[in-house]
């Protein structure tokens, strides 16, 4: 059951079904539309079996990848791509049209007014937000809060949608969701039902879980994808400098998939990242650290947030990199406020 909120006589916020609210305009075109454009239904089924459920997603694949799908020849792929191009405009648009498209971006509240102000309103959809920092710096706490705030209606600065959570470190705690939901005045059981969760154990498993999300997101309105953390399994499955090049290549493919999901379904991607020691950090910086993943991960993230511990339960968040936010601004947060 998809969540929005409804105020009843008892002044309690209750979840109601999606059908009770106005249908939103979807930004993607279902892959089934290819059938009416003259594409064989069997070929469309092959695309779906390969994890492609929208025409938008189809246009994000190279012809080389598409011909790798069993049963699709080069001639068929050319015909499919030609039909998809007529349904989805992936050519040039004006700056005014680009501005109009940006209006579909939703900013999901983090539960902290100070952090929302820092982010210009909250976590953006159609973008990847990376949070890096050492352990117990607040990254996963924020992920749990976003699981709840994403289900709030738009008039309460939520996303009015479901959440997908891929856990690579075993840190997801459903019991933590309950007090957060109660804080927002929501039904904890309904909130938990609107979170789809998967535990990943290898980088290949992690990537396959992303492929499987396309089917769910094409059928139900998701607004958030959490990957906690994006780098952990790569650091385990690839060891030594001899495997570094392969690791970065596989990581790039994973991040490319995350970018496509964010833009194809207008969802916010929130991924956490670990830190590594930075020997070149300088003698004037105590305990210098930098985010793991190198330049591949740095270029993939739209917004990069650095979390660090402050005094006691205080946590500090700094915008490390963002295309439309000031870089050096930092604020203090309470660890458990999320």
The DSSP result for 89-134, as a single string, is: --S---HHHHHHHHTT--EE--S-HHHHHHTTSSEETTEEEEEE-S
In a domain, 3, yes or no: no
Residues 300 and 263 in one domain: yes
In a domain, 38, yes or no: yes
At 197, which CATH number?
Answer: 3.40.50.300
At 45, which CATH number?
Answer: 1.10.150.20
- The helix, strand and coil proportions of the chain, stated in percent and rounded to the nearest 5, come to 40, 20, 40
Residues 329 and 181 in one domain: yes
pLDDT at residue number 160? 93
For residue 265, give its domain range. 101-333
Residues 63 and 184 in one domain: no
Residues 269 and 309 in one domain: yes
- The string over 193-203, giving b where at least 16 C-beta atoms fall within 10 Å of a residue's C-beta and e elsewhere, is ebbbebebeeb
The lowest-confidence range among 88-97, 178-187, 204-213 is: 88-97
Mean pLDDT of 67-88: 92
Is 15's pLDDT higher than 50?
A: no
Euclidean distance between CA atoms 199 and 225, whole angstroms = 14
Residues 68 and 116 in one domain: no
In a domain, 68, yes or no: yes
The dihedral built from the CA positions of residue 184, 185, 189 and 195, taken in this order, carries a sign that is negative
Q: Given 63, 88, 113, which residue is the final one in a domain?
A: 88
- The string over 113-127, giving b where at least 16 C-beta atoms fall within 10 Å of a residue's C-beta and e elsewhere, is eebbebbeebbbbbb
pLDDT at residue number 245? 93
The rounded percent of the chain whose pLDDT value lies above 90 is 60
Place of tokens 């402050």: 310
**Residue 217 contacts residue 269 (beta carbons within 8 Å):** no
Cα–Cα distances in Å, from 206 out to 250, 251, 299? 11, 11, 20
Highest mean pLDDT among 4-18, 126-140, 287-301: 126-140
Number of domains composing the chain: 2
Kindly tell me the burial class for residue 304, based on how many C-beta atoms sit within 10 Å of its own C-beta (0-12, 13-18, 19 or more).
Answer: buried
Euclidean distance between CA atoms 183 and 148, whole angstroms = 10
| 167 membership: H or E segment, kind and range | strand 162-167
Mean pLDDT of 280-286: 55
In a domain, 23, yes or no: no
Residues 168 and 226 in one domain: yes
Is 4's pLDDT higher than 80?
A: no
Residues 141 and 69 in one domain: no
Euclidean distance between CA atoms 165 and 147, whole angstroms = 8
- 219: tokens are 């059928």
pLDDT at residue number 225? 97
Instruction: Tell me how many degrees the CA angle 266-201-239 measures, rounded to the nearest 5.
Output: 105
Residues 242 and 291 in one domain: yes
Is 8's pLDDT higher than 60?
A: no
Residues 292 and 242 in one domain: yes
Residues 215 and 311 in one domain: yes
**Residue 163 contacts residue 151 (beta carbons within 8 Å):** yes
Is 324's pLDDT higher than 90?
A: no
Structure confidence by residue, pLDDT tens digits, 244-281: 999 999 999 999 999 999 999 999 999 999 988 876 65
In a domain, 15, yes or no: no
Q: Given 21, 56, 88, which residue is the final one in a domain?
A: 88
Residues 119 and 75 in one domain: no
Euclidean distance between CA atoms 194 and 182, whole angstroms = 15
pLDDT at residue number 286? 54
Q: Given 60, 88, 116, which residue is the final one in a domain?
A: 88
pLDDT at residue number 334? 57
Mean pLDDT of 129-150: 92
| 175 membership: H or E segment, kind and range | helix 174-183
Mean pLDDT of 303-322: 85
pLDDT at residue number 330? 61
Q: What is the mean pLDDT of the chain?
A: 85
Residues 158 and 66 in one domain: no
Mean pLDDT of 151-170: 94
- Whole-model pTM over 0.95: no
Mean pLDDT of 173-190: 94
**Cis before residue 229, ω within 30 degrees of 0?**
yes
Cα–Cα distances in Å, from 86 out to 43, 73, 129, 223? 18, 20, 32, 27
In a domain, 113, yes or no: yes
pLDDT at residue number 212? 87
Please name every residue paired with 224 in a beta bridge, in sequence order, or none if there are none: 163, 268
In a domain, 8, yes or no: no
Mean pLDDT of 219-236: 94
In a domain, 77, yes or no: yes
């Amino acid at each position: 059951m998809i969540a929005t909120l409804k105020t009843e006589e008892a002044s309690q916020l209750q979840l109601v079904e999606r059908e009770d609210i106005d249908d939103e305009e979807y930004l993607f075109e279902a892959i089934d539309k290819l059938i009416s454009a003259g594409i064989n239904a069997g070929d469309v089924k092959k695309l779906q079996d390969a994890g492609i459920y929208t025409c938008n997603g189809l246009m994000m694949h190279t012809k080389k990848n598409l011909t790798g799908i069993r049963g699709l020849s080069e001639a068929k792929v050319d015909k499919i791509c030609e039909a998809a191009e007529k349904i989805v405009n992936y050519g040039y648009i004006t700056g005014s049209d680009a501005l109009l498209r940006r209006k579909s971006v939703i900013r999901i509240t983090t539960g902290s007014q100070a952090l929302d102000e820092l982010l210009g309103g909250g976590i953006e959809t159609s973008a990847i937000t990376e949070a890096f920092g050492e352990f117990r710096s607040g990254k996963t706490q924020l992920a749990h809060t976003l699981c709840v705030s994403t289900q709030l209606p738009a008039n309460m600065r939520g996303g009015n949608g479901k959440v997908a959570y891929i856990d690579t470190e075993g840190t997801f705690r459903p019991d933590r969701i309950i007090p957060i939901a109660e804080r927002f005045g929501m039904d904890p059981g309904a909130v938990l039902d609107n979170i789809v969760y998967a535990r990943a154990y290898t980088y290949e498993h992690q990537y396959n879980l992303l492929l499987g999300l396309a089917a769910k997101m094409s059928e139900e309105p998701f607004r958030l994808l959490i990957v906690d953390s994006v780098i952990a399994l790569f650091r385990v499955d690839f060891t030594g400098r001899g495997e570094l090049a392969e690791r970065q290549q596989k990581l790039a493919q994973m991040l490319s998939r995350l970018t496509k999901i964010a833009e194809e379904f207008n969802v916010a991607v929130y991924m956490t990242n670990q830190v590594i020691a930075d020997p070149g950090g300088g003698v004037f910086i105590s305990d210098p650290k930098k985010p793991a993943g190198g330049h591949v991960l740095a270029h993939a993230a739209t917004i990069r947030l650095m979390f660090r511990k402050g005094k006691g339960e205080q946590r500090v968040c700094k915008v490390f990199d963002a295309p439309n936010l000031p870089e050096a601004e930092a604020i203090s947060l309470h660890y458990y406020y999320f």
